[in-house]
Structure 1
Amino acid sequence: MVSELVVDVQPKEITIAVLEDKKLVELQKEKQDESYTVGNIYLGRVKKLMPALNAAFVDVGHKKDAFLHYLDLGAEFNSVLSFQKFVENKKKIPQVQKMKLQPDIEKNGSITDVLKVGQEILVQIAKEPISTKGPRLTAEISFAGRFMVLIPFIDRVSVSQKIKSREERARLRQLVQSIKPKNFGVIIRTNAEGKRVAELDAELKLLIQKWENMCEKLPKAKAPSLLYEETARAVALLRDIFNPSFEHIYVNDKDVAKQIAEYVGVIAPDKKDIVKLYTGALPIMDNFGVTKQIKQLFGKTVTFKNGAYLIIEHTEALHVIDVNSGNRNKSSLGQEDNAFEVNVSAAEEIARQLRLRDMGGIIVIDFIDMTKSEHRNNLLAKMQDFMAHDRAKHNILPLSKFGLMQITRQRVRPEMEVATSEVCPTCFGKGKIKSSLLFTDTLEGKIDYLANKLQVKKFSLHIHPYVAAYIEKGLFSLKYQWKKKYNVNLKIIPDQSLGFLEYVFYDKDGNEIDLKEEIEMK
């Protein structure tokens, strides 16, 4: 399996696509002006205590107060408070290694025993705002790396349960115990299996440096304020999914490409050359076939093999997926075997959809009815195999007597939603538009305005691929005629993300030219 990463950096948004054998399996979108990310650390202020919920609402600067449950305070919360008080009183940062750790808080204690309204506390984002809910917080501060997770104020070492070898677990535990500072806890991740001490030590020092950089901001901080910002989205995603099968990472932005190349150079020096700066004329997502796959995969109806299809519905409480055989008909198979074959294909596509849309919470799947227990058990085993590469924690239950399969999947951010239908850019859904035959006249008028009024002589025009083919058709194409008539350097760029009568002009530096606004100001 060949894994590739495609990063599309736009002025307002960054889109990251993960491809496995050219098939889209993960998609992440993040607005450029949205700094809210899981892993950010804040100095927050307690706004309200809720004894009935044994929780508190904390102001971290978001429009909705964040939620902090007593169980998310962490056993070492007394030590965190002691550290904060020392900083407030002495106006300097104590070394965690020299501190005396405080007793753990009571496991079944009350939120009112440890917090009060107006109190300032260190908190970290555990879940981003989802639907009508604010962010979910934890007071157990941690810094995640590729091989380990560093947790201040805990003096122990844990090893991922996915590392099965008893000898390797003992080796890693002993190794990390010998290099970690006192009063720092470490969780050894699965990726650390087989790694040498030099690699682990380098990352540990990097994580400790992040803690120290955060602490330097603490004495002057006033709640609510951001103390530590998680790694850039592209780098953070790469940190979690990077594996030796990665062959290419394509980025269309020079600065982001440099950030990723530097990170890859640290974690896998032999792979640093896989980061490529994309400079092609086509939009990067169109060039690698991502845009077309997004249009195919994010609708309510998703087709897969031989006419079979899924219906995916979302509610506030859960997600429901219905499997349908469609017009699929294999006369050589009986009804039972045919149902099993469709269900297995559906399970593979559903496992992909869960990763792609980042669907979390409760998922209920209505498979086609099967009577043989052998088929029902095999389907469960197949689903477990298909979801083995899913990084989110999940639990799969066997089929019920009604043919329903229930899955719970970890949710830390809102589900990915992509609109696959297009609103007419000319009538905006009213149903009546100017004749499409006059569209090229509209474009020529814009080019005339650009060339003669704004004196812009070098620019590109992004339009739907069908319209682009029409404009560039023939030896004396419309493009050729416009270039000669207005003496401009014009590039026609087919863009699959645009509707039939949509168009966007860009200058030679790649900045969008808002012609509608210019013409209104004229």
Structure 2
Amino acid sequence: MVKELIINSAPSGVTIALLQDKQLVEINKEQINNSYAVGDIYLGRIKKIMAGLNAAFVDVGYEKDAFLHYLDLGPQVQSLQKLTKQVRGNAYKNHLLDNFEKETDIDKSGKISSILTKGQFLPVQISKEPISTKGPRLSADLSIAGRFVVLVPFSDVISISKKIRSNTERTRLKKIVEGIKPANFGVIIRTVSEQKGVAEIQKDLLDLISKWESFMKKLPTTDPSKKILGEMGRASTILRDILNDEFTNIYVDDNSIYEEIKSYVHEISPELEKIVKHYKGKEPIFEHFGIEKQIKGSFGRTVNLAGGAYLVVEHTEALHVIDVNSGNRTASPENQEENAFMVNKEAAKEIARQLRLRDMGGIVVVDFIDMHKAPNRKDLFDYLRSEMNYDRAKHTILPPSKFGLVQITRQRVRPEMNIVTNEKCPSCDGTGEIKASVVLYDEIASNLDYILNEQAEKGITLCVHPYIAAYIKKGFVSQQMKWFFKYNQWIKVKEVPSYHLTEFHFLSAKDEEIKL
């Protein structure tokens, strides 16, 4: 599988597209002022304790208070409270936790009112970004993620990814981390650590320790509700989590981001630095790589499949519903069961892609075409699970129900990617009405008179739809010729097929648009 990352920079932010075998599978947008990203750590102020919910609302500077449930406090929240109080009171000045005495773990079935009090300050980490009408979701179980490991304060446990199956490799990695981790810190060893050397893992861990020290230095002076430690940019985060030898190209159209990503890739995988390339083409990068067209075809209520079938995607506040339709597919008219199975498999592959592409979270209900044979239903379920293995978000897929519905729950940590594919009519601006065509020529002539007589422009070009150009240029004596006699200069008329019927623009001799 060939993977490519295409990064488009704009004044409003950065858009990152992930391609697998030239097909768009993920799209991420990072705003310039991207506060409240997953992983950011804020100094929260407890606003309200909700005993009935066993949760608290926390002020982190967002327009709506963030939500912190008791189960998200983490077992060592009392140690975090103690550390915060001591550091902000200058009673603890060590930037690590070597001499820190941890508190006992809290009761898993306890009450939040016994742990937190109104007005208290507590460092909290964003676990879900603000979505719809809800504020951020928080966790007080802090962690700092790196490429190979995750650093967890107030713990001594070394955990290893379940995807690393070799006992020999698990033992080797555990011994490496045991020898270099600081006291009172736990470490989670990530899947990408497999077969990595001591130097790489040690460097990654030292970088995380440096971030923790930065957190400790900022903690005493950070104002309540302000950010203490920020997660890295979305592009670097994606590279940190998924960069591997399968990547063949990373194209960036902005020089500063290109330098930043090249430097980051050099740090984490020097052998892959050569795949980072600065795109300098004239056309927009997404158009050049065909991403814009894929976006327009992949978002929206209806998604067409290659075999003639299609999906209908509906969204509600509570869940997402995907309906599979066979359309005009007639591959095997005599065997409806086989037809249904083939359409469902094609749909399952696209559904797995759509979930990643739109970053759909929560509950997703899929209505596949009915199949009567149990082996076919099992094969479809297994096929959908295998396609969903590429998805990095945590998810659960339930077997088809009695009514043939497949239910999927998928972790939602960011707002769903929603791109409007329907365009407003440029002629009527969505009103359903346009200017009377009989006055269009008068409007063009009036603007032309103003440009030539009042602004004294020379060598101008009129850009219009081909139909209007034909009206101006054809006939005897043509309108273009009449202008020549009237203004004593030739007015160029350029046909632009992409214009709508009543659209026109004037260009100066330098090919710059003349604003009217």
Question: What TM-score do the two structures reach when normalised by structure 2?
Answer: 0.87
- Please tell me whether residue 33 in structure 1 is matched to residue 58 in structure 2: no
- Work out whether residues 427 and 500 of structure 2, in 8 Å CA contact, stay in contact via their aligned partners in 1: no
CA distances 1:106-155 after superposition (whole Å, capped 9, x unpaired): 21111111111110100000000111111000011111111111111111
Superposed displacement of residue 500, structure 1 = 9.1
| Distance in 2 between residues matched to 1:330 and 1:286, nearest whole Å | 34
SS in 2 for 1:305: coil
Question: 3-state DSSP class of the match of 2:67?
Answer: strand
1:410-438 deviation line (CA, Å, top 9, x unaligned) = 11011110000000234221122247996
CA contact (8 A) 2:332 2:338 kept: no
1:292 is matched with 293
For residues 453 and 229 of structure 1, the distance between their equivalents in structure 2, rounded to whole angstroms, comes to: 53
Q: Deviation per CA, 1:315-350, whole angstroms, max 9, x where unpaired? A: 111110000001111246501111101000000110
Structure 2 letter corresponding to 1:84: T
1:56 correspondence with 2:56: yes
Query: Using the alignment, how far apart are the partners of 2:132 and 2:153 within structure 1?
Result: 32
Contact map agreement 2:70 2:111 (CA 8 A) in 1: yes
CA distance, structure 2, for counterparts of residue 249 and residue 416 of structure 1: 22
Equivalent runs, 1:439-518 vs 2, <5 Å? none
Alignment deviations for residues 71-98 of structure 1 (CA, whole Å, 9 cap, x no partner): 1111111111111111122266323122
Contact 1:91 1:219 in 2 (8 A): no
**Is the contact between residue 24 and residue 290 of structure 1 (CA under 8 Å) also seen in structure 2?**
yes
Matched ranges for 1:57-72 at <5 A = 57-72=57-72
> Which residue of structure 2 aligns with residue 13 of structure 1?
13
Once the two structures are TM-superposed, the CA of residue 503 in structure 1 deviates from its matched residue by 10
Instruction: Specify the SS of the correspondent of 1:15.
Output: strand
- Whole-angstrom distance in 1 between the partners of 2:506 and 2:36: 31
State the Cα deviation string for residues 274-332 of structure 1 (Å, max 9, x = none). Answer: 11111111011101100001110101000102210000001111110000001111246
Distance across 2 between alignment mates of 1:125 and 1:514:
46
Structure 1 residue aligned with 2:485: none
Give the distance between the partners of 2:399 and 2:98, measured in 1 at CA. Answer: 49
Find the residue that maps to 2:182 and give its secondary structure.
coil
Moved more, 115-124 or 393-402: 393-402
Kindly indicate whether the alpha-carbon contact (under 8 Å) linking 2:319 and 2:363 is maintained by their aligned counterparts in 1: yes
SS of alignment partner, residue 432 of structure 2: coil
- Evaluate the alpha carbon distance shift between residue 207 and residue 514 of structure 1 in structure 2; reply closer, same or farther with a 3 A threshold: farther
Tell me what 2:351 maps to: 350
Shift of 1:65: 0.3
Q: Distance in 2 between matches of 1:31 and 1:445?
A: 39
**CA–CA separation in structure 1 for the residues paired with 2:105 and 2:114:** 13
Conservation of the 8 A alpha-carbon contact between 2:36 and 2:136: no
- What one-letter code is carried by the residue in structure 2 that aligns with 1:414? P
Residue 474 of structure 1 aligns with which residue?
none
Deviations, residues 194-248 of structure 1 (Å, cap 9, x unaligned): 1111000000000111111122111111201111111011111221221211111
1:211 alignment partner AA: W
5 Å-filtered alignment, 1:88-487, equals 88-90=88-90, 93-94=93-94, 95-331=96-332, 334-434=335-435
Which letter maps to 1:15? T
Q: Which amino acid aligns with 2:213?
A: E
Change (3 A) 1:105 1:290: same
Tell me how far apart the structure 2 counterparts of residues 505 and 131 of structure 1 sit (CA, whole Å): 43
Measured after TM superposition, the shift of residue 445 of structure 1 is 6.8
Contact 1:56/1:67, CA 8 A, preserved across alignment: yes
> Quick check: 2:46–2:59 contact (8 Å CA) kept in 1?
yes
Provide the C-alpha distance between the structure 1 equivalents of 2:504 and 2:197, rounded to a whole number of angstroms.
54
**Residues 397 and 406, structure 1, Cα contact 8 Å, conserved in 2:** yes
Range with greater deviation from structure 2 (83-92 or 421-430): 83-92
Shift in alpha-carbon separation, 1:307–1:454, aligned structure 2, 3 A: farther
Deviation at 1:504, TM superposition (A): 11
Closer, same or farther: CA 445–240 of 1 in aligned 2, 3 Å: farther
Whether contact under 8 Å (1:143, 1:150) holds in the other structure is yes
- Give % identity: 51
1:502–1:24 CA distance, 2 compared to 1 (3 A): farther
TM-score (structure 1 length as normaliser): 0.86
Q: 1:420 aligns to what SS in structure 2?
A: coil
- Structure 2, gaps ≥5 residues long: 471-479, 481-488
Q: Which residue of 1 aligns with 2:45?
A: 45
Change (3 A) 1:430 1:136: same
Contact 2:90 2:220 in 1 (8 A): no
1:2 aligned residue: 2
Is the CA contact (8 Å cut-off) linking 1:425 and 1:501 kept in structure 2? no
Q: In the alignment, is the contact (CA less than 8 A) between 1:359 and 1:411 conserved in 2? A: yes
Residue of structure 2 in register with 1:475 after alignment: none
Which amino acid in structure 2 is aligned with residue 283 of structure 1? P
Give the superposition deviation at 1:13: 2.5
Q: Which moved more, 1:87-96 or 1:395-404?
A: 87-96
SS at match of 2:307: helix
Deviation at 1:50, TM superposition (A): 0.2
Shift of 1:403: 1.0
Structure 1 residues 117, 329: closer, same or farther in 2, change over 3 A? same
Task: Name the aligned partner's letter for residue 76 of structure 1.
Answer: Q
Aligned 1:70-85 pairs, distance under 5 A: 70-85=70-85
Is 2:427–2:501's contact at 8 Å kept on the other side of the alignment? no
Q: C-alpha separation between the residues in 2 aligned to 1:396 and 1:232?
A: 31
CA distance in 2, matches of 1:486, 1:32: 47
* Alpha-carbon distance in structure 2 between the residues aligned to 1:342 and 1:430: 40
